[in-house]
Chains A and B, each alone.
Chain A
Amino acid sequence: MKTDVTLKIAGAAGEGIQTIGDLLSEVCHHSGLFTFSVDDFESRVRGGHNFNLLRISDKEVAAPGNRLDILVCINKDAYDLHKQELRSGGIVIVNADKAGTEDKTRFDIPLKKLAEEAGGKITANTVAAGAVLSMLGTPFSVLADILKKRFAAKGDKIVSLNMAAAQKGFDAAKGLSLDTGFTWEAKKSNIVVLSGAKAAALGALAADCRFFPFYPMSPATGVITNVVSYTKKLPVVVEQAEDEIAAVIMAIGASFAGVRAMTATSGGGFCLMTEGLGLAAMTETPLVILNAQRPGPATGLPTRTGQADLLFSIHASQDDFPRFVFAPGTPVETYETMKRAFHLSEKYQVPAIVLLDQFLADFRMTEVNTLTVDPEIERFYAQNNSGDDDNPYLRYAPAQDGVSPQRLPCSGPGLVRITGNEHDPEGHISENAANRIAMTQKRAAKLPAMIKEMAPPILVNPTAPVFLVGWGSTKGNILEAVERLNAQGIEVGAAVFKDMWPMDRQVVEKALTGKQLIMVEQNASGQLGRLLAQEARISAFDTILKYDGRPFFPDYIVQKAKELVK
């Protein structure tokens, strides 16, 4: 049987809410349990209202839970805000001045006072974690082992301080038991717990990306800060650019010189990068851009989530040119996608855009560890760089598949000539009409092979008459909603896209024709639906759209789908 517990830890920014969630997750992983942890925070560093939503299960979970079994309120506001989310039989812990109970569900525990008794106010988070684990039936020894490991580097004093604090919390919650059915023996399992941001950083590094020019912007900043610690061991440079325009152009410059480079941003920064995107396309210089989406034009909601840049990413910059657009659904998929993005961008000499969103960038999820590093990286720069006046190197030599050999500047007598103007095969400016047609066709000639690289959407219950259709980070939510609907006897399937563009029209049309399609997207117009209508002759679709800046929950999709299924 699947056991599934959701708890929320809520309070102000700066109160260490994430720390509690992380500590609890670590204890769970030690015992082979799976977690899905998502943070909700405002665009501020201190104060306001934040929470960590932690789902614990003995089976893999890929979406957040929203019916609370346990609510931990670090301040009183949190209690007022979230008490109605508690399921019947759930338990609330409120950080109060003194211990007590108001009713059968609310228990006041003086976390700060207990922490002080244990020896330091700063351990209030450990007190809270102790209390929660006590309710989940975790033996104290399991928590003790994790604390020893976690604080070992900080010395015995800190370890014993935290042990004392944990014990205080553990004892304070004695008698408050939630019958979870979890077993707590240590279990070795091949799992990895990553955020999308960290996975993107690792994937880029694994692709031998060595240069990360970047302008800070939520929610993409985490991608680059995750790179920083690896610069000690790997030949990698992170450089804060003066703006997003410079960031993307620097990446193109590095790529011109043969070094893999990427930049990361969110929608507003990506707006500034569209000029560079066009330069990469026109000059056929490999480029990877990660866009961690957030809602709204302009500044929008900086720390919230959305999926409204799909059509923008596919169409950004003037004129027509081929590009790849990917939207991974989980952290492990993000890792693999980054590796592929670099490989394909260089293979076809086209830009590749990877779409994450705040939800995927920040949530932390237990997955089976399938991460690999390649023993060798396949590179596509030509090694032999010959050329002279009579036989110059032709950077844009005509090629049936559109891909002309790319060489590195100063790597031999062949001169590498590149321009963002329309150019002749040698790379000189050309306004010749026939050349313009030939070059446009050369660039477009890459498309058939690029389309073949694209994975079709993942299909669940392919014979079902109704499909929930989504892309990117909604994957886990959609798959869980399908499972629950099926359990209720409602026959639905799903199609989830990861490789967005270019689209294999035939494959998509074949997979989706004849179904009732319900688009599940985090934007206000059903952007994937509109794309399918344009590309794959999908004439009609229903929608479950959410654009409040908060992620989906499976419950929400189940409820809406029931209203829509014909």
Chain B
Amino acid sequence: MITSKDYDCNYENKWCPGCGNFQILAAMKEAFAQQQIPPEKLTLISGIGQAGKTPHFLKCNMFHGLHGRALPLATGTKIANNDLTVVVSCGDGDCYGEGGNHFLAAIRRNLDMTLLVHNNQIYGLTKGQASPTSSLGMVTKLQNNGTPSSQFSALAIALAAGAGFVARGLSGEPEHLTELIVKAMNYKGFALVDILQPCVSFNKINTLSWYKERAYKLDADHDPQDLAKAFQLAQEWENSLPIGVLYESAGTPFHERVPNLKVQSLASHKYDGKVMADTLLKKL
């Protein structure tokens, strides 16, 4: 029986005390334990930022790559070996800013993996600049007249790009978040969980209580197959924040669209010198 403790790792955690990441990490471990995935069967891939460090703080296989590039790294890993369970951990700047193009492409490819975006609406590791999800006008040390760009609505954009699983969680609702991560990982295809979290050091507006005052859980009445409704929910922001699975609809994952990935993973093929010689050299 695997419990969340089995993912504990003694590498020193370097997040600020009170950071929402701690609760996200706990929810991740709990979600992995609930699915009984042993640490050695789990592969976490991340970009750069405070969220990008996540894989160091639990037991798992990991590739902590470059800023913005976690999704192509995970894409290559999954195309090579679709048998791996791949979870991607990124921040909002990492995934929606630097990695914006990869975010759109990953949704369209629909590889069978889960993306967790630790969204605190601010750049933490670089000490407090506006991120794509910062509210229009948010004042930071760098954007001292307020950020002049409007807010990036990741959920609405993911829906528009054709994502089959779009959810929003809140770090302050760890049990609910655990549930969302489990659902996302069980979805056959690309699953996005945008996780709102406070940044205690740099985001003084969107605090945990700011989120808690507005967040409400989608209940059983919500039909996750209703795309129009999901769009509507994705655009709720200032006064209310729906959390839960906004949209879920079965699609064909990448490895079922590509003939050479349908039956077995690329990694699992044995090299055959004879077939190779016949295929490459005979007709020359």
Instruction: Please list the residues of chain A having a beta carbon within 8 angstroms of any beta carbon in chain B.
Output: 192, 194, 202, 205-206, 208, 210-211, 213, 230-231, 233-237, 239, 241-243, 245-247, 249-259, 261, 275-276, 279, 283, 369, 371-377, 408-410, 412-421, 427-429
Contact = CB atoms under 8 A, between A and B. Distances in A.
Interface stretch (B68-76, B165-173, B213-221): B68-76
Interface string B56-94: 100111111110010111111111110111000000000
B80 A234 contact: no
Contacts of A208: 271, 276
B17 interface: no
Contacts of B145: none
Contacts of A372: 277, 281
Contacts of A231: 259-260
A211 B275 CA distance: 18
Contacts of A234: 275-276, 279
B277 A211 contact: no
The 10 A-B pairs at the shortest CB distance, nearest first, are namely A253-B76, A250-B76, A409-B61, A259-B80, A254-B80, A242-B105, A257-B80, A419-B64, A249-B72, A246-B72
Contact of A252 (B61, B76, B79, B273): B76
A192 B81 CA distance: 35
B39 interface: yes
Contacts of B72: 213, 241-242, 245-247, 249-250, 253
Interface in B31-55: 39-43, 45, 48, 53, 55
A246 B60 contact: no
Contacts of B69: 245-246, 249, 275-276, 279
Interface residues of B, number: 55
Contacts of B53: 429
B1 interface: no
A470 B242 CA distance: 66
B63 A418 contact: yes
B75 A250 contact: yes
Interface of B: 11, 39-43, 45, 48, 53, 55-56, 59-66, 69, 71-81, 83-85, 101-102, 104-105, 258-261, 266-267, 269, 271, 273-277, 279-281, 284
B62 A257 contact: no
B81 A246 contact: no
Contact of B77 (A236, A242, A254, A417): A254
Contacts of B273: 373-377
A189 B62 CA distance: 53
A415 B59 contact: yes
Given A192-B284, A236-B266, A419-B65, 12 more contacts: A205-B279, A206-B280, A234-B275, A249-B73, A253-B74, A254-B77, A254-B80, A372-B281, A376-B273, A410-B61, A415-B61, A420-B66
A419 B57 CA distance: 13
Nearest to A371: B281
A176 B3 CA distance: 88
9 contacts: A192-B284, A208-B276, A237-B261, A245-B69, A249-B69, A253-B78, A254-B266, A255-B76, A429-B64
Contact of B276 (A205, A279, A418): A205
Contacts of B276: 205-206, 208, 234, 373
